[in-house]
Amino acid sequence: MNVTIRQLKVFAAVAKHNSFTRAAEALHLTQPAVSMQVKQLEGSAGLPLFEQIGKKIFLTEAGREMYHYARQIAQQLNEAEEVMQALKGIQRGRLAISVASTANHFGTRLLAAFSKKYPSVTIKLDVVNRETLLHQLVENEKDLVIMGQPPSNIELNTEPFMENPLVMVAHAGHPWAKEKNIKAERLRDKTFVVREPGSGTRMAMERFFESHGIPFEPGMEMTSNEAIKQAVEAGLGLAVVSIHTLELELETGRLAILNVQGFPIMRHWYVVHPRSKRLSPVAETFRQFVLNEAQSGFQAAPSLTGD
C-alpha cells in the first residue's frame, strides 16, 4: 500500500473531528485539499474509509483500522524526532501530560519546576476526571498520567511517588470541627457531597462506609472538587477530599478537617503510562524528575491538622 505521511495526517484529522470542514480548519487547508488527500488514501487502501449518513460522516470498519495505525505512526514519528534531538544533545521536545483534577495543585507545581529546569520543552497539560484519564490511557493519548489508584484491568506501568491522604471536611463552624476521635458510626444519616460514580475518591469513600457497616447515600453529586468544597463551605454537607486540594481553604479558615476514626484514608499518587509504551527521552526525563522530586522531599500538602 503506497501512502504518504501527509495523507495519514489529513485522514487522522478528519477522523478526529468527524468533519472534513473542521479538519481543514485545524490543518489550515482548503476542504477540497482535505477531500483529495482522503480520496487518494482510500484509493491506496482499496476500501472506503468514511461513510456518510445524512449530514454526518462515520468511519467504516476499514477507517477505524486505518485510524488506529495512523495514530501509531504519528506517535512513532514523534518518538523518532525526540530521539534524534536527544542524540544531538538538545534538551527540547514536546510533553503531553494529563493530571487528575485532585492532583492539579501540586501537579502544576511539578510541571513549573520541570519547565524551569528544561525551558525548551513544550508542555501540554490536561486536568481531567478519572474516567477521562482511563480513556486516555487506553487510547495511548498522553505521554504520562498522574493519578490516584490505577485500575487493575489495564496493563500499565505504575509508580507511586507521593502520599495522597483523603480527609473528611466540614465548614469551619461545624459542631464537629473541634471534636476529637469522632466515631465512624456517627456518620450514619449524615449528608455527603461527593464526586461522580467512578471517581477514585468516591470509591475510597464507598469502601470505608462498607467496611464500617454504614449505608452510603450521597446527598449531592458534583463533578469537580472546587464545587464540592464550595458546597461544604456553604453548609450543604460533609465531604471526603484529597488534602492536596485544601491548602487555600485551610489557610483562610473556610473549611475544617474532621478528626474521624479511620481517617485519613492513606492512598498514593502514581505516575502512569501503558506498559507497552516506549517513552520518549523527554517523557522519560519527566518521569525520573517526578520520582526524584518526591524522594528529595517535595511536599505540597498542608498539615493534617490544618496548622
The string of pLDDT tens digits covering residues 126-184 is 998 888 999 999 988 999 999 988 988 899 999 999 888 999 999 999 999 999 999 99
Cβ(73)–Cβ(7) under 8 Å?
no
- Residue 135, CA distances (Å) to 128, 160, 211 in order: 11, 20, 30
Question: Is the model's pTM score more than 0.85?
Answer: no
84's grid cell: 534524534
**Of 71, 74, 47, which is closest to residue 59 (Cα–Cα)?**
47
Q: How far apart are CA 159 and CA 270, in angstroms?
A: 5
| Number of Cβ within a 10 Å radius of residue 122 | 11
Strand partners, 158: 272
Among the listed residues 195, 208, 304, the one whose alpha carbon sits nearest the alpha carbon of residue 256: 304
Average of per-residue pLDDT values in the chain: 88
Mean pLDDT over 96-101 rounds to 91
Instruction: Say how many C-beta atoms besides its own lie within 10 A of residue 98's C-beta.
Output: 24
pLDDT for res 299: 54
Enumerate residues 6+ apart whose C-beta is below 8 A from 86.
93, 281
Domains of the chain (ranges, CATH numbers): 5-81 (1.10.10.10), 90-162+268-295 (3.40.190.10), 165-266 (3.40.190.10)
pLDDT category at 228 given cuts 50, 70, 90 is very high
Neighbouring C-beta atoms of residue 192, cutoff 10 Å: 22
